[in-house]
């Protein structure tokens, strides 16, 4: 039996539904999970920033148009402090938790601490379900080329089916593990 890839990632164009798929997986997951997901913040229909929310209830801005920072993506200042205080501890491998990592993207990767934490999560025995940006720098491309990662592009056609597919893959991975059952 060929071992399944334990790191399951989604990619896709902005607003393709990656985080929506992740949130549906979190809602249906019957296993202990840690990690974080990101959500847009809109005011008057206009995006003003991005919030990181951990599965244990912490949250803070990843990027916001009002954040003063040495790191920017378009008009958003990026909060390295929040990435390292909120996202990094949330993705630390613990027990046999599923790790939710939404996302390995340009903003998060401004933090070298985040990069190391992401690799540590991917290298751990934990199943990691996450999202990864289209394209990317050498670090992101290196993640995409790992032997233990499978990547699915989210499209309008498949986004409704993806949560069930991911949950089934998690079940298959767990069935393959020698200490499960």
* Domain assignment present for 52: no
* Domain assignment present for 61: no
Q: Which residues touch 38 (CB under 8 Å, ≥6 apart)?
A: 19, 50, 51, 52, 53, 62, 102, 103
Considering its fold, how many domains does the chain have in total? 1
How many C-beta atoms lie closer than 10 Å to residue 156's C-beta?
9
Q: Quote the pLDDT of residue 179.
A: 60
Three-state SS string over the chain comes to CCCCCCEEEEECCCCCCHHHHHHHHHHHCCCCEEEEEEEEEEECCEEEEEEEEECCCCEEEEEECCCCCCCEECCEEECHHHHHHHHHHHCCCCCCCEEEEEEECCCHHHCHHHHHHHHHHHHCCCCEEEEECCCCCHHHHHHHCCCCEEEEECCCCCCCCHHHHHHHHHHHHHHHCCCCC
* Domain assignment present for 50: no
* Domain assignment present for 144: yes
Residue 89 to residue 171: CA distance in whole angstroms? 25
Q: Quote the pLDDT of residue 161.
A: 98
* Domain assignment present for 21: yes
Q: Domain limits at 109?
A: 7-38+87-176
Q: What is the residue-level pLDDT of the chain in tens, covering all 181 positions?
A: 677 899 999 999 988 999 999 999 999 999 999 999 999 999 999 999 999 999 999 999 999 999 999 999 999 999 999 999 999 999 999 988 999 999 999 999 999 999 999 999 999 999 999 999 998 899 999 999 999 999 999 999 999 999 999 999 999 999 987 664 4
* Domain assignment present for 76: no
Q: Which of 156, 159, 50, 168 is nearest to 103 (CA)?
A: 50
Q: Quote the pLDDT of residue 180.
A: 46
* Domain assignment present for 163: yes
* Domain assignment present for 69: no
What CATH number corresponds to the domain at position 159? 3.40.50.300
């Amino acid at each position: 039996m060929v071992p399944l890839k334990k790191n399951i990632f989604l990619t896709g164009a902005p607003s393709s539904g990656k985080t929506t798929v992740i949130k549906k997986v979190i809602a249906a997951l019957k296993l202990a999970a840690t990690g974080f997901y990101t959500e847009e913040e809109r005011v008057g229909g206009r995006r003003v920033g991005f919030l990181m929310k951990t599965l244990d209830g912490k949250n803070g801005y990843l990027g916001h148009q009002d954040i003063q920072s040495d790191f920017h993506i378009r008009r958003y200042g990026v909060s390295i402090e929040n990435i390292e205080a909120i996202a990094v501890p949330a993705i630390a491998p613990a027990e046999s938790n599923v790790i939710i990592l939404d996302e390995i993207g340009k903003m998060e990767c401004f933090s070298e601490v985040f990069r190391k934490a992401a690799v540590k999560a991917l290298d751990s025995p934990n199943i990691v379900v996450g999202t990864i940006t289209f394209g990317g720098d050498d670090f992101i491309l290196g993640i995409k080329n790992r032997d233990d990662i499978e990547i699915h592009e989210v499209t309008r056609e498949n986004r409704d089916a993806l949560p069930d597919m991911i949950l089934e893959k998690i079940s298959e991975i767990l069935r393959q593990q020698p200490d499960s059952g």
